[in-house]
Structure formats: structure tokens, C-alpha cells
């Protein structure tokens, strides 16, 4: 008996989703191609239709003789046992394909440790119907089935039922001792304890399981940058294990297992998931292991917050003449600012006749007083952290070209306005994060003074300037090191003692002064442009001034693996940053929604961040879906085109239909559910909660406007739910997928303590997100946590967070 199935989708399920078409008897012949691919041809088979009732398969149609036998009390036990195994194996393969899982991952939805026919029938199905090589089919069967030998079964008895399976039973019995199958899962406490990143010099236990075959020896291979250690493992029940102390120095490490058998050496390394083990014939990239500082902590208030990012020029105006006076100030310096007459005007994005290139110095007149007036709105959204893009004096509207670190830009207001903003925000439970731009200054600044607009001598006026040593002149004064080749952004020498004293470590340094004025946190622009030791100096200075200050870095890649300037950075290891902007999360969520990856791939990405980031760092991640450096979320969701890959001119030509924009609102809501259900700090880019649209810079920085109150209410409800439950901020988390389009996120606290050991109210929530148009059912077994099996129906293009405790 066998079932018709293909590698992509079981054909027998196309017209009868609850019925299997199985085949008995007949004969077969094997045909090998020149590349050693096996094709099996069957003849003379009889078909039987089978359905499952209460976990038992019954024959309900097809060949009358077989149906009568299978339904009679006289049916031989071996025939019934084989019938149940064959139907279960085929149904599992069909379910696996229907969920969007690769059949190599069949063990996620199928386990049959007791039926002796399950393994040989599964191997037959994978090889004959799905094109698997014997070695791969053997690995899958070993992971799903406990008995590869079909113990207690006479192969001759199986021949009339399925001659090919009878032959495979003989093959499996001959090769089970010599063919190796092994398992390790770095996300399973049975194989790794404790899970996740670990502190320096702590004890770690790693294990592997021998599923089939005989191994004489196993070694753990632990390695990192300039480090490699081989540790013999001890024999354990059905495998090997080792308990050891990790290195005393925080580092990004990897590990794999070298297994010896009589046939040679095998390597157990991760598959594409990053945490499931797979056997290879050579050493491959290992499982990741992050070791971080034992004293690494991050402020508790931050990881319980919801963030809101504001581009100060475009959020709210105060209409008191502040902006006009500020524009006049810049013009008097000899600069060329322009103030828009209306917030409805289009931002300038092309060079003016007197310019060689576009200069972003058109302003809409947003002010700090305007932001202060909008604080009640932020409070209604449930915001706890207000992140401001740079507010220091600068020539441009984005202000990443600092002119004076100690002054609020006059267009935005004055230093007293900032103090008052922090005071008013604090009264509402909102803290302020500032943007620190320290890898470079503006060329038109107090410090560089390229054009002589400032009275005091800058570096361009020669060595007499106190700032001359901040810069690296190759040819004074017109050739110097600058940020990414932009001569308007001269880079500073961060190791210069006078720079460090002025910006970081001095009693009245820039870092300390703004915290003293009311800020609670720093976001560090282009953190990878600052040396690790300088980042650590900034973090230390900030916490000296304000012990619960947060120092967050702009990092676009994996913060543990990131390399720049010839070395691996230590952002996540407890030295230099509290956490980072989580741009990889944004990419992963958009890929999921745009069907560029499945819910299983997104689940694996989320598990990877959970396993590889230190807990204090992970729960402080700035989980963003939009920012000033990427296209607006709604626009990104309204097209499958990667907007950032286009030129500014081509971005403006993109057509966005009303239907696409309306669908994007639905998709944004489900993206927000994911964002607010995750550990870390969910961050809303101003206007995204109102459904604002915009391609790249400067169209992702348009003036704030109210558009979609339904979307705003959705964000407010999510924030209220999160702010009202410790389980959703600092509770435990587990990730799963219900199908290729359904993601599940479980959050819980059940022992009165959160993951940091702090007292917290018990509670449990399940977030369910469906990216597909059609409704989908889901079931999630949480019995091991005491929540039982949770299931339901989720509408298409929707998501929700459901309280389960």
C-alpha cells in the first residue's frame, strides 16, 4: 500500500481534503538514471479510500475486497498496523506540505515512536514519491520514528501489502547500525541548558542524541574569532553530553559536534533554521553562542515602554514666531534656509539654481513648544519614550550636520524650551530620548567653520582653534576625512582627548549636559562609525550622570555578528550599548507580509534573536517598523517593490492605487500586532499611526497630519494592552507557526515574577497573525505550560492579541 504524493503538495488531497487514497499490493520495478536518481514504477495496485475518525483510520471506499478485509474483525493485526502507519505517514506529509513546511521538517508535525511500520513506510514515501536520497529520508525517519528496524515485523508478511516497503525494511535493518542519524536543537532545554546567551565563565551543558547508528566518540568544537577549543563529550543515554565553563571573556562564539563512527567522521551543525541540527560530511558554520558580561544590566523602565519617534521640524508648530526668528538667524549667518508657507506644500528635493546639489534646508516650522502642545496626544497613544531626531543647531532640516552641540536650533526654540518639554513630558510619564551625532559635525559649524560664518575660529581657521585636533586634514584646509565622502560632514577623531572631554567625559560634556537638562536617553547615530571604546565611554558617562539613562545605537545588522573597521563589534555584549535599533526585525516582518518568507521563516528569525541576544539587550531592543531612514510603513506595504532600491525620481513615479493603500492599512494593523507582542520596545514613527504615506527621504518626513483614526485607535489599544500587562513587556515568550501564513506569539508570567526576577502580575496572551487573504484555523499545544491546546479561526489580513490567562 502506498499513497500518491509529490514533493510540493500531496495530489490525493486536491479533491478530498479529509480523505486519503491509498494503494495496496501490486509489483514495482526500479529504474536508476545516469546521475543515480531512483525512479520507482508500480503496477497492478488496488486503491483504498481512508478517513480518520478519533485518531483511527478506516477504509471507506475503493477496492471492495480490501475494504471488506480492513473493516472486518478478522483483519490480521499486521495488515491493520500497516494500514494505520501508511495512512498516518501520508496524512502527515500532506499536512506538512499544506502548512508550507519543507518535508525535511516533517518532525514538527509528525511523531510515531510506537508503530514499527512508520519508519519504513516514511522512507518509502520520501524516496519514491518525493525524490529524497536514501540518506536524507533516513534522517527524517529517524527524527520522526522511534523504531527504524520495524522490530517484531516479518518483512515477508509485508510483501503482499507493499512490496517496496518490505524491501526497505530489509535495507533499514542492514544499515541502521552503520548509518548515523543524530539530533541537537539549541532551542530545546533537553539539548542545551541554559538556553540563549550566557554570562562570562558560566556553566553550560550541551548534548546530542543518537537517533540511529553507532557512534564511538563525540567532541564539542567551540570557536570564535581567534579562538578554538575541542572538548571531549561523555556518553549519555542515547547520545553524548558535556558540561563546561564558557570563556571568561565576553564574545560571539559558535559550536558544532564532531562524531566518530566506524565509517568515518560526521559533523552535527545547524540547518537553515539556525538551531536544528543536521549531519554534514564536513565542518560547517556552527550553532551560535553569545557570551556577555556578567554585570550587564539595562534600565527596567525602558523595556516596559512604548516609544514614539518625532522628526522635530515636521511634527507640530507653535505659531508664536519661533520658527520665523530661527530662519532669520540662519540667514544672518549666511546660510540659505527656506520656510514653507504651508504644511501642505511639497518638500524640496532637487537642487536650486545656485546649488551644485540638493541641500535639505527647507523647513516647515515645527518647534519644541509645538511638541509640548502635542504631549496629551502622545499620552493618549500610551507613549512612554519620546525619541527626538537631532535638535541641536544645524544648517539642515534633519540636523545630522551639527553646528553647535550645546544649543537647541533656534528654529525649534531654545534650551529652556527643551527643559520645559522634558518637565511636562515627565509629568505625564513620558521620558525623552535625544539623538547624538558624534562621528562627524557639519562643515558649517562652530567646530569646523568652513565658511567663516561663526566668529570664533574653527578647525578651518588653523591650529590655533581649540577644535583643530578634532579633524584629520590631508591637505589643509580643503581636503579632509569626511563621512562617506560628503564634504559637508567632516569626521572627527574620537580618540582625541579634547574631543572626548568636550563631548563625553568632561564635567559639563555634551552627553552629560543634555541629561542634566532633562533627557533620559541617547540614541547614537551611526554607532558603527564610533570605536567600541568610545561607545563604552559614552555609556559610562551617561550612567554617571543619570544611572538609569539608556544608550541605544543605530545598528542595521545583527548586533552580535556586526563587523566594521576590521573587527567584530561588542555592541550586545554589555560593554558599549544598552541595545540597538532592530532594523532586521522590520525587514523580516515586511518579508513575511510580502510573502517573501513564510511564518516558519519569521518564527525562526524571532527564535534566533531570542537565543543570540543577551536578555537585558533583547528586552530593550527598539522594535521599529518605520523611521526617518526608510520609506513609510504604509507605502512599503502597498507595493511589492523594494522602494529603497529605486532612485528618488523613480520612487515618485510609483503608482499606489486606493485599493492597495486600503489593503496596506489592514496589513499595517497586523504588523503592529507582531511589533507589540514581542519583547523589546515597540517604536512608532510619527504619523505611521495615522496611515501617512511616503517613499524615501524627504517624502518619509512630511509634516504630521491626521488621516486614519481607526488605525490610530488600533495602535492606542495595543499600547494600552501592553502597558497594562507585564506579561507583554517582560514576560516569557515562545514563537510558533500555524501554517505558512499564520504566526503565533505566546507571552506569559505564571509565577509572579518576570524574566528578570522582578515581581509582576501573572497573565498570558497569544498573538495570532494571518498574512493571507483567506481565514485560517490554528491550533497551538501549550499543555507543557498549563494552558492546554489553544485554537480558533483568524480572519485574513488580520491579527489580534488574545488573553488566555
Which residue numbers are catalytic? 525, 554
CA distance 231 to 240: 12
CA distance 712 to 405: 35
**How does 212-237 read in b/e, with b if 16+ C-beta sit within 10 Å?**
bbebeebbbbbbbeeeeeeeebeeee
Non-local CB neighbours of 509 within 8 Å, separated by 6+ positions? 501, 502, 503, 541
Closest CA to 688 of 389, 343, 315: 315
Q: Does residue 546 have a cis bond before it (omega within 30 degrees)?
A: no
Instruction: Read off φ and ψ for residue 73, nearest 5 degrees.
Output: -70, -20
**What is the torsion angle, in degrees rounded to the nearest 10, for the CA atoms of residue 5, residue 7, residue 8 and residue 13?**
10
Query: Residue written as cell 504566526?
Result: 743
Closest CA to 87 of 108, 67, 117, 65: 117
Neighbouring C-alpha atoms within 13 Å toward the C-beta of 764 = 13
Q: Which residues pair with 248 in a beta bridge?
A: none
CA distance 89 to 43: 22
**What is the torsion angle, in degrees rounded to the nearest 10, for the CA atoms of residue 337, residue 338, residue 343 and residue 349?**
-80
CA distance 145 to 168: 15
Residue 9, helix vs strand vs coil: coil
Closest CA to 711 of 659, 672, 751: 672
Closest CA to 386 of 349, 338, 341, 435: 435
If residue 196 lies in a helix (H) or strand (E), which one and from where to where? Answer: none
Neighbouring C-alpha atoms within 13 Å toward the C-beta of 323 = 24
DSSP letters along 442-509, please?
-SSSTTT-TT--SSS--GGG-TTSTTGGGB-EEETTTEE-BGGG-TTSBBB-TT-HHHHIIIIISTT-
Residue 663 Cα distances to 68, 85, 234, 654, 783, angstroms:
53, 44, 56, 17, 36
CA distance 528 to 482: 15
27 φ/ψ sector (left φ>0, alpha ψ -120 to 50, else beta): beta
| Count of all residues that appear for the chain in the document | 805
CA distance 602 to 596: 10
The answer to whether the CB of 732 falls within 8 A of the CB of 748 is: yes
Residue 254, helix vs strand vs coil: strand
CA distance 85 to 119: 9
- DSSP E strand stretches across 262-370: 264-270, 277-280, 287-292, 307-310, 338-339, 362-363
The answer to whether the CB of 575 falls within 8 A of the CB of 293 is: yes
**How does 78-117 read in b/e, with b if 16+ C-beta sit within 10 Å?**
bbebbbbbbbbbbbbbbbbbebebebbbbbbebebeebbb
If residue 538 lies in a helix (H) or strand (E), which one and from where to where? Answer: helix 532-545
If residue 514 lies in a helix (H) or strand (E), which one and from where to where? Answer: helix 510-516
Q: What HEC string does 14-71 produce?
A: CCCCCCEEEEECCEEEEEECCCCCEEEEEECCEEEEEEEECCEEEEEEECHHHHHHHC
Q: How far is CA 493 from the centre of its chain?
A: 34
The answer to whether the CB of 88 falls within 8 A of the CB of 109 is: no
Amino acid at each position: 500500500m502506498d499513497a500518491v504524493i509529490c514533493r510540493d503538495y500531496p495530489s490525493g488531497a486536491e479533491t478530498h481534503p479529509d480523505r486519503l487514497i491509498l494503494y495496496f499490493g501490486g509489483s514495482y520495478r526500479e529504474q536508476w538514471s545516469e546521475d543515480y536518481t531512483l525512479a520507482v514504477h508500480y503496477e497492478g495496485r488496488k486503491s483504498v479510500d481512508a478517513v480518520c475518525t478519533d485518531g483511527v483510520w478506516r477504509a471507506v471506499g475503493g477496492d471492495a475486497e480490501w475494504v471488506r478485509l480492513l473493516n472486518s474483525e478478522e483483519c490480521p493485526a499486521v495488515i491493520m498496523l500497516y494500514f494505520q502507519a501508511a495512512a498516518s505517514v501520508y496524512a502527515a506529509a500532506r499536512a506538512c506540505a499544506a502548512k508550507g513546511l519543507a518535508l525535511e521538517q516533517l518532525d514538527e508535525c509528525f511523531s510515531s515512536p510506537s508503530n514499527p511500520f512508520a519508519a519504513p513506510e516514511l522512507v518509502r514515501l520520501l524516496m519514491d514519491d518525493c525524490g529524497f536520497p536514501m540518506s536524507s529520508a533516513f534522517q527524517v525517519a529517524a527524527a520522526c520514528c522511534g523504531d527504524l528496524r520495524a522490530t517484531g515485523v516479518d518483512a515477508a508478511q509485508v510483501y503482499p501489502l507493499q512490496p517496496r516497503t518490505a524491501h526497505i525494511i530489509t535495507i533499514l535493518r542492514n544499515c541502521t547500525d552503520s548509518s548515523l542519524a543524530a539530533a541537537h536543537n539549541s532551542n530545546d532545554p533537553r539539548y542545551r541548558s541554559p538556553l540563549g546567551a550566557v554570562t562570562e565563565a558560566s556553566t553550560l551543558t550541551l548534548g546530542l542524541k543518537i537517533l540511529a547508528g553507532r557512534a564511538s566518540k563525540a567532541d564539542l568544537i567551540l570557536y570564535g574569532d581567534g579562538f578554538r577549543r575541542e572538548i571531549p563529550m561523555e556518553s549519555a543515554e542515547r547520545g553524548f553530553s558535556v558540561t563546561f565553563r564558557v570563556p571568561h571573556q565576553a564574545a560571539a562564539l559558535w559550536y558544532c559536534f564532531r562524531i566518530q563512527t566506524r565509517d568515518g567522521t560526521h559533523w552535527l551543525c545547524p540547518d537553515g533554521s539556525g538551531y536544528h541540527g543536521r549531519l554534514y560530511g564536513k565542518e560547517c558554520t556552527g550553532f551560535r553562542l553569545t557570551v556577555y558580561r556578567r554585570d550587564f544590566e539595562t534600565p527596567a523602565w525602558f523595556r516596559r515602554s512604548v516609544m514614539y519617534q518625532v522628526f522635530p521640524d515636521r511634527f507640530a508648530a507653535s505659531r508664536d514666531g519661533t520658527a520665523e526668528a530661527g530662519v532669520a538667524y540662519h540667514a544672518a549667518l549666511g546660510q540659505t534656509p527656506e520656510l514653507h508657507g504651508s504644511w501642505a506644500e511639497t518638500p524640496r528635493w532637487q537642487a536650486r539654481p545656485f546649488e551644485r546639489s540638493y541641500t535639505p534646508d527647507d523647513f516647515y516650522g515645527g518647534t519644541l513648544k509645538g511638541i509640548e502642545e502635542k504631549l496629551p496626544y502622545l499620552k493618549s497613544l500610551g507613549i512612554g519614550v519620546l525619541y527626538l531626531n537631532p535638535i541641536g543647531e544645524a544648517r539642515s532640516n534633519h540636523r545630522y550636520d551639527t553646528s553647535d552641540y550645546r544649543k537647541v536650533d533656534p528654529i525649534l526654540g531654545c534650551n529652556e524650551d527643551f527643559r520645559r518639554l522634558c518637565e511636562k513630558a515627565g509629568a505625564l510619564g513620558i521620558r525623552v530620548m535625544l539623538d547624538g551625532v558624534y562621528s562627524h559635525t557639519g562643515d558649517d559649524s562652530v567646530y569646523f567653520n568652513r565658511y567663516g560664518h561663526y566668529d570664533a575660529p574653527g578647525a578651518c581657521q588653523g591650529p590655533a582653534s581649540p577644535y583643530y585636533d578634532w579633524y584629520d586634514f590631508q591637505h589643509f584646509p580643503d581636503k579632509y576625512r569626511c563621512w562617506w565622502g560628503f564634504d559637508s560632514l567632516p569626521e572627527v577623531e574620537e580618540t582625541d582627548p579634547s574631543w572626548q572631554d568636550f563631548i563625553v567625559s568632561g564635567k559639563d560634556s555634551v552627553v552629560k549636559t543634555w541629561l542634566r537638562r532633562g533627557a533620559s536617553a541617547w540614541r547614537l547615530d551611526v554607532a558603527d562609525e564610533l570605536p567600541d571604546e568610545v561607545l563604552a565611554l559614552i555609556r559610562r558617562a551617561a550612567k554617571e550622570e543619570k544611572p538609569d539613562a539608556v544608550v541605544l545605537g543605530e545598528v542595521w545588522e545583527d548586533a552580535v555578528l556586526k563587523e566594521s573597521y576590521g573587527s567584530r563589534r561588542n555592541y550586545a555584549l554589555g560593554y558599549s550599548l544598552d541595545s540597538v535599533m532592530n532594523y532586521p526585525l522590520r525587514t523580516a516582518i515586511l518579508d513575511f507580509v510580502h510573502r517573501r518568507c513564510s511564518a516558519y521563516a519569521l518564527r525562526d528569525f524571532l527564535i534566533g534573536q531570542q537565543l543570540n541576544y543577551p536578555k537585558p539587550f533583547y528586552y530593550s531592543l527598539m522594535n521599529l517598523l518605520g523611521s526617518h531612514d526608510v520609506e513609510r510603513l504604509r507605502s512599503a506595504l502597498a507595493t511589492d517593490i523594494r522602494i529603497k532600491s529605486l532612485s528618488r525620481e523613480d520612487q515618485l513615479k510609483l503608482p499606489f492605487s486606493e485599493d492597495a493603500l486600503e489593503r496596506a492599512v489592514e496589513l499595517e494593523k497586523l504588523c503592529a500586532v507582531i511589533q507589540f507582542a514581542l519583547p523589546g520596545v515597540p517604536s512608532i514613527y510619527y504619523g505611521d499611526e495615522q496611515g501617512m504615506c511616503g517613499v524615501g527621504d524627504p517624502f518619509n518626513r512630511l509634516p504630521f497630519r491626521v488621516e486614519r483614526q481607526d488605525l490610530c485607535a488600533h495602535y492606542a489599544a495595543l499600547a494600552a494592552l501592553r502597558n497594562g500587562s507585564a506579561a507583554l513587556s517582560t514576560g516569557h515568550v515562545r514563537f510558533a507557526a500555524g501554517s505558512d501564513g499564520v504566526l503565533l506569539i505566546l507571552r506569559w508570567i505564571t509565577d509572579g515574577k518576570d524574566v528578570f526576577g522582578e515581581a509582576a502580575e501573572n497573565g498570558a496572551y497569544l498573538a495570532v497573525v494571518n498574512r493571507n487573504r483567506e481565514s485560517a484555523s490554528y491550533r497551538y499545544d501549550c499543555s507543557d505550560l498549563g494552558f492546554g491546546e489553544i485554537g480558533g479561526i483568524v480572519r485574513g489580513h488580520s491579527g489580534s492579541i488574545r488573553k488566555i490567562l
